[in-house]
Structure 1
């Protein structure tokens, strides 16, 4: 600090001296006379300028000599690197300047320039973390994956930069779609820094893609403990993972574990439709119909859905259509004005051959919200009441061009999915599917549709109808009548 102050004072004094000398020369208009003891010097204007330049050089040399003397004194005082630091200071300044220029070039999108500056910085500063990282990122931006990987591997040798190296290699493997290596790197990065939010998200996605639901739940728990995830969101997503665990256990025919996992998923998130349906079936396999009804009613209150109605139908699989219509009143009374409730009542009335009741249940749905399902139900009502065949065909023709109604849609990319899943196959979003009307851009095209899911003897049955000009498939009409 003191030495810096001295250099500043010397520089200011030099500027003042030069200014005073220039002013004196202008006033005299001639040469410069310098008298020192018994010596006298008469300098012309050019000679005065040369003398001033020599004075500047002498001052610069004096500063360097003084700096060297100070370094020697520090060395004698016990600082073993003082002299070497004095000689390396110039190289360090050049290296830092090259490093700064390389970072600027990288930010400006000039990776080749950044790599050349990184090489220059490495020449003056040696192989250190900053020059290696700059070279790695510049090579990655330039598309030179081999050089980038070599630089990231150099960062693995130091514990302080190990996480940065693993993270860089992880991003490379993700870009190359090498998910196996990426998963191993993500696990290693998570071990080094378990609180890093981006690493948590990547690891969670990779584990979910590999159906490692236990590992995904551990990652999710760590994300919640680090404060990166609200508790309510954690409970919902943990329920999703528990549900997937239950599905895998069901596939392996291990019913006891499946029951526990499905019931746990429903308890964590009662409004999760697939979890509610699976939990109800788990209770049914235990012979506990009361709990199954309770689970489905609570889920129906949150969001009416055909899967819930199908699970509710399985509680009493051998009942008659009239008995089923009566029993379903406990479910449909919860949200009577919901469109799903109206269509469910209409379908149940059709199964019981009570066509006027089916028409009343639909109400103004075919004009207010004409979906394929609602219009097909209306066609079945007209056919059941003995209406003209042309009228029935008209309803079916309208159904072919009508929107499908609520579906599983991704809230991120708006992709429509045929069934619920924890991950969107299009954008990779986790727990982004919701049961709603698709946006206009994501409305699926084609004439094949799912029509009239009648709750008669179990799960809903899909009945496709194909449009061939003006001809309507007679078999589809016959199935609708049934």
Structure 2
């Protein structure tokens, strides 16, 4: 670790110094005079810059060769994985660079580049939840539902990514108009993570649209238990849901059940006039 840091520091320092020298020569049009013993060579600004670039490349190559020789020496001394680690570090660095590019591209709204860089990262680093997630979200942004759904399904097998995978599949089903499947998936996501406010709100919305008043009340109670809803707000909203359930019971001819639910709604929120009227 220390040796790698030292090499990087030396290399960057040389590059900075030589770059400043190259810029100076180009700006001032001065020649570079090199004296070695009794030999003197004068080169023009462009040739000097090219020579500096060649020197930088040479230093970089020498550092790589030195690293390989160190790995080879360790291998000869009995470290059987020294050489594979040397090449593996380079591969890993390229993979991490590609992964970083993919994340930046996705955040910048360039899903096509994100897909390309994520594919390269996967080739270099192997399949991972991060690359699959980038692929899923990039495909989703491009409107490629089949690819996005396949990528989200691939994430279901990992405990760390299962919730985000289910949420992604919920969005896919909603886009397809399959709200029944979306609701079942969202409820499954809540089983895995009960304090997910976004999923709770989605489940509540879908339950209300289906007039599943009991289910909606359970979801509302879950929001209260998760600390995502003040108790006074919970009581008012629960009273409204309870009143809606009472109206549904009344329309179904269950007068006694309707009165019971209306009484509960009135108890939860005494100033909720419709519940008091229905109870009477």
TM-score normalised to structure 2 length: 0.79
Could you say what secondary structure the match of 2:157 adopts?
Answer: coil
- The equivalent residue for 1:235 is 235
- The equivalent residue for 1:32 is 35
CA gap 1:14/1:146 in 2 versus in 1, 3 angstroms: closer
Q: Aligned pairs, how many?
A: 269
CA gap 1:127/1:243 in 2 versus in 1, 3 angstroms: same
RMSD of aligned Cα (Å): 3.6
Larger radius of gyration: 1
| Superposition deviation, residue 146 in structure 1 | 0.7
| Superposition deviation, residue 78 in structure 1 | 10
User: What per-residue deviation string (whole Å, max 9, x for no partner) do you get for residues 191-234 of structure 1?
Assistant: 11110100000011112222222221111111112121111110
Measured in 1, the distance between the counterparts of 2:150 and 2:16 equals: 51
User: What per-residue deviation string (whole Å, max 9, x for no partner) do you get for residues 2-54 of structure 1?
Assistant: 2244214533468779999x99xxxx9865224xxxxxx846346x9798777
Could you say what secondary structure the match of 1:32 adopts?
Answer: strand
Measured in 2, the distance between the counterparts of 1:29 and 1:115 equals: 47
| Superposition deviation, residue 127 in structure 1 | 2.0
Could you say what secondary structure the match of 2:36 adopts?
Answer: strand
- The equivalent residue for 2:41 is 44
- The equivalent residue for 1:289 is none
- The equivalent residue for 1:114 is 114
| Superposition deviation, residue 80 in structure 1 | 7.8
CA gap 1:16/1:220 in 2 versus in 1, 3 angstroms: closer
User: What per-residue deviation string (whole Å, max 9, x for no partner) do you get for residues 43-92 of structure 1?
Assistant: 6346x979877765554344224434555688899998664343133333
User: What per-residue deviation string (whole Å, max 9, x for no partner) do you get for residues 76-116 of structure 1?
Assistant: 99998664343133333333333333334334433333323
- The equivalent residue for 1:101 is 101
Gaps of 5+ in 1: 35-40, 281-482
- The equivalent residue for 1:173 is 173
Structure (1/2) with the larger helix percentage: 2
Asked if structure 1 preserves the Cα contact closer than 8 Å seen for 2:246 and 2:259, the reply is yes
Could you say what secondary structure the match of 1:219 adopts?
Answer: helix
Gaps of 5+ in 2: 26-30
TM-score normalised to structure 1 length: 0.48
User: What per-residue deviation string (whole Å, max 9, x for no partner) do you get for residues 312-370 of structure 1?
Assistant: xxxxxxxxxxxxxxxxxxxxxxxxxxxxxxxxxxxxxxxxxxxxxxxxxxxxxxxxxxx
Measured in 2, the distance between the counterparts of 1:261 and 1:77 equals: 81
Query: In terms of mean alpha carbon deviation, does 52-61 or 142-151 score higher?
Result: 52-61
Measured in 2, the distance between the counterparts of 1:262 and 1:106 equals: 50
